[in-house]
Structures are given as structure tokens and as C-alpha cells.
Structure 1
Amino acid sequence: MTVDDQHRDFWERRLADDWTESGVGYKALGRPFNRWMYRVRRNVFTRETSALGLDASSRVLDIGSGTGFYVDGWQRLGMSDVVGSDLTEAAVEQLRARYPDARFVRLDITEDIGPLEPASFDVASCMDVLFHIVDDERYKAAIDNIGRVVRPGGRFVLSENFLHRRADYTEHQVSRTIEWVTSVLRVAGFEIERRVPMLILMNAQVDAPAPWRKAWGGALRAATLTPPTGWLAGAALYPIERQLVRRFRESPTTEMMICRRLPHVR
């Protein structure tokens, strides 16, 4: 089995076993805490995408749809032409049943664009997905393929960790430097418009100093050992987190970036 097959199999098994917020989120913190965390993500996503000037006729592509959280987010904004995609059959089958008004395709964006037509989408989103592409060359291919399907002048909405320290490689996740990610985006023809915190405290502090990363990570895991304490921890942090993501310009964890596709000759 190749590394790519192992990666695909990992996500097939994970989503087949847990097709919820914890399955696509920070699994170690449990489902109740993840639900509060995703409420913050929804707030930031809605605030930023509602300012893009899209309307019901805009064509939307969501890459790595998972449980359909961001498909739902686009539909709540009034988008009627939404296409979702996922690497796994486990997700695609359930997404088709949950969101009958959207279209879903099984697609590995690191390989090609599959049945998608070039320059056919007004906006593409790839949320909480890119840092799970552990091979740098496949990451570059994914961004290049996204550039192929977004029309000139269209937008690309993504979330990443954007480290200011050295890149951190693990088996199923890679946090890359902001310089490296932005250079890949520019090569693919994207102009960066803005970057905002998606979370501050309710996630692993990947871009913080090591002592704080370990201390806060331990505190989160201790607070979420059981579903009731996880729910209470999430409920306590939620109103604080909503204020922090508005006040801070950068985050020690996941951030959201909006890019515009520039016209250029490949």
C-alpha cells in the first residue's frame, strides 16, 4: 500500500467510524467540545464570506467537504449552486443523502480536477483540509488544481495554520510556514486579500512557543476528558473565543484566508 493509499484509508476509516464534528475536528477533545469549536468557525466563516459580494447564482465548490459543515454554511448564505467533493466514499455517500440540493463528487484534488470544468466556479472553499496533505508536492498540485477551477476574478477561501516558526511535520498533519503557503498560492495565480483568525484558544496552539503549546494542550485535554466537562469547557470558552477572533489580527492556531484568482497565462 502506498503512502497515498494509507492516507486515503485513514480518512475512510475515520469518517466511517465518526461522521461528526469530532471526526473532522480535534478528535482528542471529544464531540461536545468540538461542537462549540465549530460554532466559532461558523461565525468567522459567515462573517467573512458574506462580504464577498456573491449572490444565489454564484457557483460554489467546497473541497474536502467531510460532514458538509461548510456546504451548509454556503447554503445558509443563499448559494443555490453548490458542488461538494471529498476524498472518501464514506463521506460522499452520506453527503448526498444529507444535502440533496447540492451535488457531490469523489475527488482527490491533489491528483486532478476530475469531472470539474476549468474556470467554472466563482468561489472555492477548502476548509481544515490542506494541512492534512502531508506531501509538499501534492499540496502544490492541490493548490494548482484549485486555481484551474476558479474563474479569473473568483475567490478562494481556505483555512491553514500559517506558522511563523519552522514547519511541523507529523504522520497525518503538516503545519507549514506562512511564507511557504503564500508562495504556493501566488505561483498558482492567487492574490491574497486578507487573513483573519478562525480560532484563538479552542484548538492546538501550533504557532505558539513550545511551553505554552504543551501547557494549553494539556489543559484542553484535561478539561475534555468526559463529554459533560467537554461541553462545559466549550460553553465557557465560546463567548470569549467569539470576542478574541474579532479583536486579534493573527492567531496561534488556525486562520482563514481569502484570495482572488488573477488572470494569467499558464
Structure 2
Amino acid sequence: MKPHAELRDFWEQRLRSDWTESGVGYKALGRAFNTWMYRVRAEGFRREIASLGLDLAKARVLDVGSGTGFYVRQWRALGAESVTGSDLTEAAVERLRARFPHDTFLRLDIADPGDALEESSYDVASAMDMLFHITDDTRYRAALRSIGRAVRPGGVFVLSENFLHRPEQRSDYQVNHPLPWITEALGEAGFEVLRRVPMLVLMNAQVDANPVWRKLWGGLLRAVTLTEVTGWLAGALLYPLERRLVRVLRESPTTELMICRRR
């Protein structure tokens, strides 16, 4: 496990050099393929949030780990009028403030935000594609507790994760936890799970699949995305199938979206 300071520096350098979907996404698959992948993410996110019936015009929204602001844009597209974003890196925050001048962006470590986030002050919070990058389990749980304190009772928390049905998987910059572990940590932070749905199926690493399939599909994805041209074509071909799969499947071998409510 990398020290926290080293992880922070890694993301600072990565986002300063590549502030695009590939910088915050699956970098090995290239920018063109990631663009198609994020189209699927956006559609699923907006569909699930819209189904909640939230009055976003009157809601205060907190987006944790804003990165390039991709999900800030989704909240705006859904009608949110007040969005507060946050990120661990100065590289992201300084650019987010320029890109979204009417929103507020805080540089903070969600595992230890100090008094930056007022207690019970947000109606909705999101933490998309970032919690699995907190490789220290204690800090992961602390991050969820911080979000739990910031969201008002009855408020909504939306997160994306790789909810494994297998033993945890660890690397220097990512940890994929089992579903029961994450559910328990959410409960400790004051959240109850409402539902979990696929966010991607084939357009990402098959972290929860059979190891043979995971290796074969991962190798194929990397092969067809060796250039931006082939990556764009691969994304365009997979896009309609992926849109269908995330709607009809109940579980996915990769990233899923979970919606929780603050007790």
C-alpha cells in the first residue's frame, strides 16, 4: 500500500498532465475509448438520479472527487442549481474553478476534511469512480463517515464502486472491496442501501469476473485500443451493446452504481 502523501502526489501529477476522461478513467485504453465509456456512464447516472424524483433546483449537491468535473456537468444537466465540488488535487481544483465559475470547489481530503463541510448541509452527495482509489481501509471508512456527516438525514448518497463477490483485490493505486465490506462501511457511516445497478459491463476491466475471462477480455480491450483510431471504433461498436446491457442486467462484473439514503 502506497503512503497517502505518495498517492496524493500521483494524482496531482496525473491530473496536471492529463485532465481528460483518460486521466481520470482507464488510462491504458486511451482517450477515444474512454470518451465512449463515459457516455454510457453519463446516461446511466442521469437515468438513475432522475428516477429518484429529487427537486434538484432547490437541493444542495456535494460532489466528492470531482476530477475533470464530469459529474458536475451531469448534476447541472439534471437541473441542480447549487453544486459544491471537491478534489484532493490542486491541479483539478484550479481548473474546475475556471471551468465552472458559478460553482464552489474545495481542495480537501474527504477522509480528513476538517471543518470544510458543514454538518447535515447537503441534500445529495456523489462519490463517483474515486472511493476505490483510497487504498487505506481506515481512510476509506473515514471518507464515508465524512460524507455521512455532510449529508442531511433523509438525504441521498450516490457512489460507484467495484462491488466484488470475490475476495478483495489490491494494487498500489486501487483496492476493490467485496460488496459486504462496503455495505457494512456504509452502514457505519449512517447510510442504508436503496439499490445497486450496473454502470458498465464490457467497457471496463472485468474485476469481478472469472480470472480467465478477465485476462482474455482485458487483453482484447488493450489490443483494440492501441491507437486512438481503433479505440474510437471499438468504443463506437461496443456503445449500443453496452447501453442495452446496463439496462437489462441486474449485476455487472465491473463498475456499478449504488444509491443510498442517510438514516
Task: State the 1:187 CA deviation.
Answer: 1.1
- In structure 2, the residue matched to 1:96 is 97
Where in structure 2 are the equivalents of 1:67-82 lying within 5 Å?
A: 67-82=68-83
Measured in 1, the distance between the counterparts of 2:202 and 2:17 equals 27
Runs of 4+ in 1 over 3 A off after TM superposition: none
Deviations 1:52-99 (A, max 9, x none): 222201000000000000000000011011000000000000000001
- Say which SS state the counterpart of residue 112 (structure 2) adopts: coil
Deviations 1:143-189 (A, max 9, x none): 00000000000000000000000000100000000000000001111
Task: State the 1:113 CA deviation.
Answer: 4.7
Task: State the 1:192 CA deviation.
Answer: 0.3
Deviations 1:23-78 (A, max 9, x none): 00000000000000000000000000112222201000000000000000000011
What code does the residue aligned with 1:260 have?
A: R
Measured in 2, the distance between the counterparts of 1:77 and 1:114 equals 29
What is the alpha-carbon root mean square deviation over aligned residues?
0.8
Measured in 2, the distance between the counterparts of 1:151 and 1:87 equals 23
What code does the residue aligned with 1:23 have?
A: G
Measured in 1, the distance between the counterparts of 2:189 and 2:118 equals 17
Contact 1:84/1:105 (8 A) holds in 2: yes
- In structure 1, the residue matched to 2:38 is 38
Measured in 1, the distance between the counterparts of 2:54 and 2:82 equals 12
Measured in 1, the distance between the counterparts of 2:115 and 2:17 equals 27
- Say which SS state the counterpart of residue 112 (structure 1) adopts: coil
Measured in 2, the distance between the counterparts of 1:77 and 1:228 equals 32
- Say which SS state the counterpart of residue 153 (structure 1) adopts: strand
Measured in 2, the distance between the counterparts of 1:120 and 1:52 equals 19
- Say which SS state the counterpart of residue 58 (structure 2) adopts: coil
Is residue 13 from structure 1 mapped to residue 13 from structure 2 by the alignment?
yes
What code does the residue aligned with 2:162 have?
A: N
- Output the TM-score relative to the length of structure 2: 0.98
- In structure 2, the residue matched to 1:163 is 164
- Say which SS state the counterpart of residue 211 (structure 1) adopts: helix
Measured in 2, the distance between the counterparts of 1:244 and 1:224 equals 21
What code does the residue aligned with 1:227 have?
A: E
- Say which SS state the counterpart of residue 7 (structure 1) adopts: helix
> How many residues of Structure 1 are paired with residues of Structure 2 in the alignment?
261
Moved more, 104-113 or 253-262: 104-113
Where in structure 2 are the equivalents of 1:31-180 lying within 5 Å?
A: 31-55=31-55, 56-180=57-181
- In structure 2, the residue matched to 1:185 is 186
- In structure 1, the residue matched to 2:262 is 261
Moved more, 110-119 or 7-16: 110-119
- Say which SS state the counterpart of residue 155 (structure 1) adopts: strand
Measured in 2, the distance between the counterparts of 1:125 and 1:114 equals 19
- In structure 2, the residue matched to 1:247 is 248
What code does the residue aligned with 2:64 have?
A: I
Measured in 1, the distance between the counterparts of 2:187 and 2:257 equals 16
What code does the residue aligned with 1:229 have?
A: T
What code does the residue aligned with 2:214 have?
A: R
Contact 1:113/1:149 (8 A) holds in 2: no
* Runs (5+) with no aligned partner, structure 2: none
